[in-house]
Chains A and B, each alone.
Chain A
Amino acid sequence: MHGLTGFVVRRLLLGVLTLFVTSVIIFGATQALPGDAARSILGRSATPESLAELRRQLGLDQPVLTQYWEWISGVLTGDLGTSLANSLPVSDVIGEPIVYSLFLMVLAAVISVPLGIALGAVSARRRDSAFDQTTSVATLGLAALPEFVVGITLVVLFATTVFQWLPAVAVTEPGVGPWNYPKELILPVITLVIAVVPYTARIMRASTVEILESDFVEMARLKGLPERRVLWRHAVPNALAPTFQVTALNLAYLAGGIVVVEAVFNYQGVGLLLVDSVRARDMPVVQAVALLIAALYVILNLLADLATILVSPRLRTSLS
């Protein structure tokens, strides 16, 4: 497995480089926004003197490169800095939101990946049947809907206007984990599942259809294996490789798309924090959250590639 280790190390180094470039871009972007943290803290009552004073206190009067250097050198020693908005350590500020967002994402992934794979596989097996047609239309339609539309529709249906079965938003207490709020989680999870399942199901259907027409599946059928066994034992494992890639991209997309879902449901994750911090021009928190999301992209892509290699014998052997 020497080749595989080398591959992982190379990819990790590239990942670090990606994160560095991301941090530079984010830093540049926050600088380009009109206004700064001092102005957002002081609000409309800011005077030129009070602004200058606060900028000095926050270090915003330093040259841009100096500010960046101070921040990145802190990060390299494990210090994410201090929030400009409320002078709490960034690690304290982002700790709980990370737990909230990860929990929501994992929950959504655990439900949507098997569901997408199953839907895709069954659709492929019963190609052009009523089931396949319905699934196709439904997945295409849902894929076209942005998350906030799905989220708001669910709220109208199940929380406010039609039925009042579920809480419309998540009102959660600081210091209490998200798993203590099962009812509050239902609508956000469904929204995310609806965002991910269509893509997974579509790609799974396409690759299973292809595999089902291949020679070795034909062979299995000729040997008299039951169709159920042909599908789940022989076709599906081979159809998974491209599905992993799409799923990883989708989950990574979730990390960013979660911003919208969290805003709709007032769910206290990194997405809400990011929106708030951009509004407050709170550079250290924006950087930390953006890097976190970028790191998630890198890691998920790496995992997807690894999974693809492991389920594709040809790739597996070419590396070792």
Chain B
Amino acid sequence: MVTADEALSREVQRGMTRQDIVKRAAALGIVVSAGTLGPLTEAAFARTQIKRGGTFRQATSGGTTDFIDGNHIVAKSDIVRLVATFDALARFDEKGKIQMHLAEELKAEKANQYLIRVRKGIEFHNGKTLTIDDVIYSIARTKNAKLKLFGNAAFGAIDLKRIKKLDKYTCRLTLSRPDVTLLEAFAQYFQGVVPKGYQPTAVGKGPLQYVGTGPFKVKSFTPGRESVHTKNANYWIDGQPYFDEVRIINFPSDAAKVNALLSGQIDAMADVPFAQVPVVKNRGRKILVSPTGAWTPLCMRVDVAPFTDVRVRRAFRLLINRPQVVRQGLSGYGFVANDIYSPFDPAYAGDEFPQRRYDPEQARSLLRQAGHSNGLDVELVTSPADTGMVEGATIFAQNAKAGGVNVTVRNVDGGTIYGDQYLKWPFSADYWGTRNYLLQAATGVLKTAPFNETHWDAYSGYPKFERLYRQALGTVNEKKRAEIIREMQRMEYNDGGLIIWGFKSLTDGYSQKVGGYKVDRGTLNLNKYGNGFRTIYFV
């Protein structure tokens, strides 16, 4: 049975306007309006709009410390270049669901046993065919602690000695401990698959320096200036990518980027400052607003007075007017949070607990019970390292006065806040992207976390939290796992050291001549930079 939508979608041809399609529909006896064609017809229409070829110009921040590596990033500029050049085994789609990518199959056979099978016939940029050996090499490379690569922590459960190659394309991993988050770890964009023997040393040195399987090959790279990427004609997804060339150009400031976008010298930029969004729109450029799970918490160190007292922590969580921060600090581009991270995790429970509201009276009474009847003086360290850090800290300081807390905001540069005192400040702001709950806990909350911000392990209830974490890692049944994760969130909601006031949206700008961007929940800007520039095109 062919639906009207399906029948009409077959009639759509290149060069037709929406009006033409409506006319064609009328001839077929189908009633549609130009604004609401069926989903299949819309898709067919969108395909006819794609113009192949052209040079796409992406602006980025960054500087002379920029590099290109398949398994490592420091700045956003490194991310842009990575996603154009490398593919991972799996990927997150726009909704945050995991999709297979280089892997044909990637699944947990048991909580401590994974099977990986890669697709056949995929070529690296140097013509070499992708095999499981390259995947095993990439895992070993990320796990090599000496290389200090970004994804190292997430691969903690992998035991290199117990990786068994089954055939040219397949292997089985037996983990040293159960870990259900490994699938997510493999889907992180920075777990790019690199060819066996890949060993970058310095810029431009080594024959395998920039070799990946990604949609674009690196043609030239001048750190701090620009990189040029040419189309990978043998890319494994049919028809992609669309552009012939991508230029990734460094800019010293947001203002220069916005000006370049307005005068048509670049096609896309990440992070249009909120205040500039109307300007960019008025000039006919487009803004992609993506609500994400990115957050800029205020972190209280649980092992340092006065935050050792849970009543003080609870009081502080009542001393911030969350809607006000979202409205003023983020110009409304975000939504209010309830001290729990990972809003897109299927087990997220932050919206099940009572929403914390600004309540200076209650806070005052909690502080009195904790023995601070004359109020409190605290220093809050923040930095303009990411949007929301300074805004959240400043508004907290204003709000907290009514609760008898005198907050001195110390605004330092990124080099200082993330300097020798990082993770040691008693009370400080920080920033995070979108991650699911267990992975985030492993990265920033557990005693063993590389970024143990709040030192929650000093809290008497912590051993239970860690026990639940281990239990969740070993629970393959999603429903049961969600129950455990909910309990962990309840503990953090009641007694934790994080003040999470909101989640931020990304506001990215692009030229009206570009199509294909979708609203994305992920950490990365611009729909993961158009999925490594392979799903966007000129219209």
Contacts and interface: CB of A to CB of B under 8 A. Distances in A.
Contact of A171 (B67, B220, B262, B266): B266
B202 interface: yes
Interface string B201-222: 0110000000000000000101
Contact of A43 (B74, B203, B266): B74
Contacts of B413: 34
Interface string A34-56: 11000111111111001001000
A210 interface: no
Contacts of B220: 174
Contact of B450 (A40, A41, A47, A285): A47
Given A34-B415, A35-B419, A44-B422, A276 B224 contact: yes
Interface residues of A, number: 48
B96 to A, nearest CB: 23
A39 B419 CA distance: 7
A279 interface: yes
Contact of A34 (B148, B150, B251, B419): B419
Contacts of B224: 85-86, 273, 276
A104 interface: no
Given A40-B415, A266-B256, A88 B65 contact: no
Nearest to A33: B415
User: B226, B266, B415: which has the most chain A beta carbons within 10 Å?
Assistant: B415
A47 B451 CA distance: 9
Contact of B416 (A35, A152, A279): A35
Contacts of A43: 74-75, 418
A220 interface: no
A275 interface: yes
B537 to A, nearest CB: 21
B265 A168 contact: yes
Interface string A264-285: 1110100011011101111001
Nearest to A264: B256
Contacts of B225: 174, 268
Interface string B41-65: 0000000000000000100000111
A169 B260 contact: yes
Nearest to B249: A171
User: A160, A161, A167: which has the most chain B beta carbons within 10 Å?
Assistant: A160
A86 B148 contact: no
B251 A276 contact: no
Nearest to A263: B252
Given A41-B74, A160-B259, A263-B253, A174 B66 contact: no
B64 A34 contact: no
Interface string A147-162: 0000010010001110
B264 interface: yes
Nearest to B152: A45
Interface in B407-428: 412-413, 415-416, 418-419, 422
A160 B66 contact: no
A215 interface: no
Contacts of B419: 34-35, 39
Contacts of A50: 148
A280 B64 contact: yes
A133 interface: no
A264 B259 CA distance: 9
A276 B415 CA distance: 14
B260 A171 contact: yes
B477 interface: no
Interface in B386-422: 412-413, 415-416, 418-419, 422
Contacts of A47: 148, 450
B374 interface: no
A40 B413 CA distance: 12
A93 interface: yes
Given A93-B64, A263-B256, A169 B263 contact: yes
A174 B415 contact: no
Interface in A86-125: 86-88, 93
Interface string B461-484: 000000000000000000000000
Interface string B448-459: 001100000000
B259 A86 contact: no
B38 interface: no
A42 B256 contact: no
Interface of B: 57, 63-67, 74-75, 146, 148, 150, 202-203, 220, 222-226, 249, 251-253, 255-256, 259-260, 262-266, 283, 412-413, 415-416, 418-419, 422, 450-451
Q: Which 8 A-B pairs give the minimum distances between C-beta atoms?
A: A35-B415, A43-B74, A168-B259, A168-B263, A160-B262, A87-B202, A85-B64, A276-B63
17 contacts: A34-B413, A34-B419, A41-B74, A43-B75, A44-B418, A45-B450, A47-B450, A85-B64, A85-B65, A86-B223, A87-B202, A87-B203, A160-B262, A168-B259, A171-B249, A275-B252, A276-B224
Given A44-B422, A85-B64, A174-B220, 16 more contacts: A33-B415, A35-B416, A40-B65, A43-B75, A53-B148, A86-B66, A86-B202, A88-B203, A159-B259, A171-B57, A263-B253, A273-B224, A275-B252, A276-B64, A279-B63, A282-B65
